[in-house]
Homo-oligomer: A and B are copies of this chain.
Amino acid sequence: MKDAISILRQCDIQPTPQRIAVVEYVLKCKTHPSADDVFTHARKNCPTVSRATVYNTLNLLVEKGLLGMQTIREGAVIFDANVEKHHHFIDDDTGDIYDIPWDQLEVKGKGKLKDFEIFEFQVIMHGRRKKK
């Protein structure tokens, strides 16, 4: 992955130490973290970063399309470094959220929904991940 500074520059966001700390964690994170998760981890590299700055940076990244945001978990929005279209599987035992590649599932019948103009959609699955 490109380094945080280049990514920020490319989107016309000034690369400050606080923003770099947020970006370095959240854009390579595979765990669908909450804002508070990001805050905790960003603090390790930048101990003075504030909650407000974390929220501001996350919202900025989402606006710029560098970061996804999902409202599939109770209590807090989660952020998603994977900005390609994909589905989600939620392990109800552990709370872990897994990405399901877009082409693994096909949703048929959307054309029949005459009253609705669909901008985007995804399949949300709940269950348990099989231990291998």
Q: A residues near B, CB below 8 A?
A: 71-74, 77, 89, 92, 98, 100, 104-110, 112-130, 132
Contacts and interface: CB of A to CB of B under 8 A. Distances in A.
Q: Please tell me how many copies of the chain the complex holds.
A: 2
Contacts of A106: 107-109
Nearest to A91: B116
B116 A98 contact: yes
A110 B77 CA distance: 26
Contacts of A117: 127-130
A116 B129 contact: yes
A127 B123 contact: no
B104 A112 contact: yes
Contact of A113 (B73, B92, B104): B104
Given A105-B108, A108-B108, A115 B130 contact: yes
A127 to B, nearest CB: 4
A109 B89 CA distance: 14
A121 B119 contact: no
